[in-house]
Amino acid sequence: MMLGSKEIIIIAIIVLVLFGSAAIPKFAKSLGLAKKEFEKGLKESEESDETSNSNDASSDNNNTSKDA
């Protein structure tokens, strides 16, 4: 079920009435900041995974050279 332009306009009017025009920009700003923090956390997680994977690979190489 897709929302059409009429439904989106009605939802926007209801949100405007419920929260007021002053609260909507604050909400949008906090939503943007939350998205930015989420993406930052994902990036840090990927970097730490790559670092731990490269450390594991180098320690495996060291262990195999000692065994030989």
The model carries a pTM of 0.51
- Best CA proximity match to 16, nearest among 28, 6, 5, 24: 24
Residue 23: its pLDDT value, please? 87
The alpha carbon torsion through 48, 51, 55, 58 (nearest 10 deg) reads: 160
Q: Where are the domains of the chain?
A: 19-55
Residue 56: its pLDDT value, please? 66
Residue 4: its pLDDT value, please? 93
